[in-house]
Structure 1
Amino acid sequence: MAGRHSHAVGVDFGTSTSLVAERKGRLPATLVPLGVGTQWFPSIAGYDDEDLLVGEDADELPSDQVIRSVKRAITRHDDAVVVAGASGPQRVAADDVIIAILAEIGRRAEAAGRPITDGHDLRLGCPAMWDGQQRSRLLSLATKAGLPVDSSTLIDEPIAAGVAWVTHRFMRYGERPKGRLLVFDMGGGTLDIAVLDIVGGEQPEISVLSALGVDQAGDALDRAVANQLTRMYAKCGVNVWDRAPEEYVDAVLLRAAKTAKERLTQVAEQQILLPRRPMGEVPVLTYHKEQLEEAFRPQMDRALAMIWAAVRAARLTERGGRSPEQLRATSPAELAQDIDYILLAGGMSRIPYVERRIGRAFPRAQVFDNAGVAADEAIVAGLADTGSYERLNLHRPGFDFVVEWEERGERRQEVLYEAYTPLYTAQQVLNGMFDLGYARHGREFPGPSQGTGVLRVRSTSGEYLSLAYVDGRGTDDRRTMDGITLKFGSSRMAFKLYCDGRVHIRDATGWDLQMRVERWPVIRGRDHAQLVLRSVEGESTVAPTAWYLSKDWAPPHSR
């Protein structure tokens, strides 16, 4: 399906490297050469005296003066990063560094003859785990860097990879994939896992059933390998931490670990050489692929636990419902039957150990390590897709629920639910909690202590949506309204969004309204003018059971 334009550009601002791709019409996406001799641009920066350098220029600085993985500052809500200075470590504004990197990406794309302008669809990727505040921060920084972004620009990275895969299977092979696709996106800073329901073809429809993420990926493996190297030097009788300032040694070890990790995707062993200045004579180590897998094993164990949590969470979207006990009782072998396809995305997925572990866990699924491009290019290829995004449904609302009321002749407003706020955390699913959703009740419910107000829905561009309410007896009996009237003034007030699209509202009078959205649609301003809500009164639930307690693989029962 064509988008607003037949020309799209995707920007993948990555933790370690950044990519830009463009696509015209139905032609395959092509990468824009950004680096010096490479398609990618290093997402690093550093200070040379007072000058902020980015990319390859920063990579020439001493290791302890280089700022790496600055994107994680957004993930962690950090305002500053630490870099070595003449008088010791200094705190540097993370936003300034991110703006500099994004601006350089724009300059290099223009120098390559592919300017990032308003003449096409521009999409920028972000981790699926990011909430509305993190997304707004990236958009603000991209605007300051000169990129023409708006509220419709951001796309979840694993979703973009899934779009690239669906488009590639249709365009290259004429396939129309149908079923559930598990996207395993492990980059430098985050691990994102998404379960997508796919109806492929020329006009594919993609529904996101679940998405979980953690702030642990390639950087965490670098740290584990660096710790291994420290122990290997110690066995040789060398304490590397005595050879130079701690910040310098740490940076050098992490750089050596990252290089070894990348090389061992192609070779069986890698020599580790540390700089003689100021480290002095240090033995040359030989680091093997088996050692890398040993360092990686605990992290992959946690990643597989996240995968099972994501597949379980996908079942929360199913109508008819499963009790929390039944969901806890579902074994990995049964969960594996839910997945038809697996796509490995992100630079870390190039490590063969990843495919072996995931392939073993899902013996019936088809595993793909490319979407017409390499695993670490799948996200940017999907961001540059000229279609597919009009028929995209999310697992959580990408719009605000707001409460409005009149007070002393003035209109007041508070946000009840902010767009993209997660309905649950990864830990809640890992712990076996399945009555999940976003809730505000009692004193947490915004608004005055008495009076009447209205609940409305607002797109991220600031425009309000009309609500179409269907009472469940058929599409002919439909009411269209601007909002839902509420009576304020009681601890009985409640609002909850459930994972299966149910919306529960109760006001101060005890009046209850229960509705459902089939899938949370992508709403981009006036392109989608209406949100359709259907009555769910009378829907049955599944009776709870307790036999899962005897299973040693069942998540713990949370009460």
Structure 2
Amino acid sequence: MARNNKEKNKPVIGMDFGNCYSFLSYISDFDGKTRLGGNVHDLLPGGLNEGIPSVFFYSKVAGTLCGETAVRGRAKPVQNRINRLKRHLGETMTLDGREISYDEAITEVIQHCVRSANKKLQSGWQMTTNEIALSYPATYTSAQRQRLIELAEKASLADGTQVHVSGTIAEPAAAGLDYLSRFGSDKETTVLVYDLGGGTFDLALVALYPKGRTNGDGDYYYDILAVDGLEDVGGGEFDEIMYQLIEQKLQVPLNPSHKAALRAEAEKIKKDLTFDAYADAEVLYNNEYLTVRVTREEFETASRELLMRTIEATKKMFERHSNQKPETIILTGGASQMPMVKRALEEAFPEYKGDEMKHKEDKIQISNPSRAIADGAARYGTAEAMNDIAEKAEAVSVVQTRVGYDLGIRFYHSVDDESGYISTYIPAGTPIPYQAAYQNSTTLHEDQRYSGFTVYEANKAHPDSEQVAEDYTEIMKVSLDHGREVPKGTRNESRLCIDKLGVLTIEAREADHPEKPIKSTVELKNLSKS
């Protein structure tokens, strides 16, 4: 359905839905073609400069609370305050005797964030919008990205208008493009984004094209050359080390309420040590405050092994892509601001360390670490020309995304074949939106009513189609209903289609009856990152 002009001129909110904190921004008056310039506007509520807590809370007494209200006094017991929601797509939790899906919690928190941003838009610019450009982890599969989009679009504004995801962008690409835009650079360059966020550690080698490169119906501004990361390492794991340090120093038994309060204090002390050599942690215990001192040196010693896991992953990225050496290492994510991060990278990659005496430029940069992803999404994350610059610009570029890894369907050489192979339907690098060509298959059994198709995404470049378990991840299971029992050898035609947001659909039909599409039931697979 086409949008009218009024809808097209809505502003677009860039959203970084983080595991611990979320950030939202709006960029006005930037150049519609180059996407440079303009004014960046923070859409966080007053007093929340560190972001809106990505926290969901539920209790029978207080009900459902989200964001900043989920970390305040009413939100008790404190152990019911749940974050790192993106790690648990498709899972459930039990709070105060009620089973709640993480998916529901994600929608509630996104809705709270978007409504908060609209309050800021309304007070500052007398306008509101339901359009968001949503960032996603580079390590997300197509299925995970698809579910995140679905959950965001279940949210609504205060007046009931449904949220619409007008575009998506990989988090490291958003951070890298934001870095170049802040320096006003239009030079094509390759960067390595080291993203140590609250929930995960992501690495991405990204080629950036600030002026855009035209391909088909749109411009594309980046190529993600490689991604890697550690799903079990993030700022939260460093918080846990700090928690253990403080707990050891306290030397008192802690109940669940004490432990929850201590975890919040541990996060605060970790941040304080970014700027100070020591910090004093205070914990209310039996109506009196207990105070313990933690030094930066103690914390860095305790967490060095964890930090070195990120450094080793970075070294491996350099080794695997020695012919695509990045010009700059960009640090993003709140935890990347810890002084030991840059110091460890300089030790591992001395060629990137600056030296004023030798007039050597520092090529490890911390730039806008918490807000880079939201700002990059606001500027580059729109898949359509749907913002208030449309009327002001002579030309408005449409940002085009490309498929990161091969997408295909698993087939079998024979009835007895247990491993099968992957037939690639959409190759890596394909511009989206895209409709693959139909491919042929046949039913394997007599009187077969349903045909099952399992969709896989490669987890590496240049996968071996015969090494399904090693080189691919199952992302979707599709059951196709013929509407009747059909004989063995009935010929089917199927194809994968991917829209501008990266959402996959499968189309199938019987080859002898192409006018009659087969009904399909889709189940997304392997959504959880826990």
The TM-score, its normalising length taken from structure 2, stands at 0.66
Query: Alignment partner of 2:245: what SS?
Result: helix
Distance verdict in 2 for CA 1:362–1:25, change over 3 Å:
farther
- SS of alignment partner, residue 167 of structure 1: helix
TM superposition shift of 1:16: 1.5
Question: Residue 423 in 1 paired to residue 459 in 2?
Answer: yes
Structure 1, residues 191-247: CA drift from partner, whole Å, max 9, x if none? 1110112344466742111112323201111111111122222xxxx3333xxx2x2
Report the equivalent of 2:257: 248
Q: Deviations over 1:453-497 (max 9, x none)?
A: 4453311479999xxxxxxxxxxxxxxxx99x99xxxxxxxxxxx
Residue 225 of structure 1 pairs with residue 242 of structure 2: yes
Distance 1:250 1:46 in 2: 17
Higher strand share: 2
Matched ranges for 1:462-501 at <5 A: none
Task: For 1:101 and 1:439, locate their aligned partners in 2 and report how far apart those are by CA, in whole Å.
Answer: 28
Match of 1:107 among 97, 109, 115: 115
Match in the other structure for 1:12: 16
Q: CA deviation at 1:302?
A: 0.9
| Gap change, CA 1:281 and 1:390, over 3 Å in 2 | closer
CA contact (8 A) 1:344 1:367 kept: yes
Q: Aligned AA for 2:472?
A: Y
Q: Find 1:51's aligned residue among 53, 58, 63.
A: 63
Whether the 8 Å CA contact 1:142–1:149 is kept in 2: the answer is yes
**Aligned residues of 1:34 and 1:105 also touching (Cα < 8 A):** no
Partner in structure 1 of residue 351 of structure 2: 364
CA distance in 1, matches of 2:501, 2:310: 37
Give the partner amino acid of 2:340.
Y
2:316 is equivalent to residue 309 of structure 1: yes
Of 277, 291, 297, the residue aligned with 1:290 is 297
Measured in 2, the distance between the counterparts of 1:152 and 1:360 equals: 42
C-alpha deviation, 1:263, in angstroms: 1.1
2:371 to 365, 377, 392: 377
The residue correspondences of 1:88-167 to structure 2 (distance < 5 A) are 91-114=99-122, 117-118=129-130, 122-146=132-156, 153-167=167-181
Contact 1:10 1:124 (C-alpha < 8 Å) held by counterparts: yes
Q: Is the 8 A contact 1:7 1:22 kept in 2?
A: yes
Aligned mate of 1:450, from 489, 508, 527: 489
Residue among 440, 459, 482 paired with 2:498: 459
Give the gaps of 5 or more residues in structure 2.
1-7, 31-37, 214-219, 353-362, 383-396, 408-431, 482-486, 512-530
Out of 93, 106, 116, the residue aligned to residue 81 of structure 1 is 93
In structure 2, how many angstroms separate the alpha carbons of the residues matched to 1:184 and 1:439? Answer: 24
Does the aligned pair in 2 maintain the 1:102–1:145 contact within 8 Å? yes
Relative to structure 1, the CA distance from residue 411 to residue 380 in structure 2 (aligned partners, 3 Å threshold; closer, same or farther) is farther
Q: Which residue does the alignment assign to 1:438?
A: 472
The change in CA–CA distance for 1:154 and 1:412 in structure 2 (over 3 A counts) is farther
> Matched residues in 2 for 1:78 and 1:452: separation?
34
- 2:86–2:106: 8 Å Cα contact kept in structure 1? no
Cα pair distance change 1:59/1:360, threshold 3 Å: same
User: What percentage of aligned pairs have identical amino acids?
Assistant: 22
Q: Tell me the distance in 1 between the aligned counterparts of 2:264 and 2:247.
A: 13
Q: Please report how far the alpha carbon of residue 413 of structure 1 lies from its aligned counterpart in structure 2 after TM superposition.
A: 6.9
Q: Deviations over 1:488-520 (max 9, x none)?
A: xxxxxxxxxxxxxxxxxxxxxxxxxxxxxxxxx
Distance of aligned partners of 1:439 and 1:9 in 2 relative to their CA distance in 1, 3 Å threshold: closer
1:212 is aligned, of 228, 235, 247, to: 228
Tell me which of 295, 312, 326 is aligned to 1:339.
326
| Residue aligning to 1:34 | 45
Change (3 A) 1:224 1:412: same
**Corresponding residue pairs, total:** 413
Given residue 168 of structure 1, which amino acid in structure 2 is its aligned partner?
R
Distance 2:49 2:501 in 1: 40
Deviation at 1:67, TM superposition (A): 4.4
How far, CA to CA, are the matches of 2:188 and 2:53 in structure 1?
35
Instruction: Give the conservation status (yes or no) of the 8 Å contact 2:204–2:225.
Output: yes
CA change 1:32–1:347 in 2 (3 A) is same
Q: Secondary structure at the match of 1:232?
A: helix
Q: 1:212 to 1:68 in 2, by over 3 A?
A: farther
Cα distance in 2, alignment partners of residues 463 and 11 from structure 1:
17
1:492-531 matches, cutoff 5 A: none
Match for 1:16: what amino acid?
A: C
Name which of structure 1's ranges 95-104 and 289-298 shifts more when overlaid on structure 2: 95-104
1:354 is aligned, of 341, 366, 382, to 341
- The TM-score, its normalising length taken from structure 1, stands at 0.63
What per-residue deviation string (whole Å, max 9, x for no partner) do you get for residues 94-152 of structure 1?
2333222222112212211256525xx63112212222332232222212211755676
- Distance verdict in 2 for CA 1:463–1:342, change over 3 Å: closer
Q: CA deviation at 1:50?
A: 4.3
Amino acid at match of 2:244: N
Amino acid at match of 2:78: Q
What runs of 5+ residues in structure 1 fail to find an aligned partner?
316-334, 466-481, 487-559
SS at match of 1:155: strand
Corresponding letter in the other structure for 1:161:
A
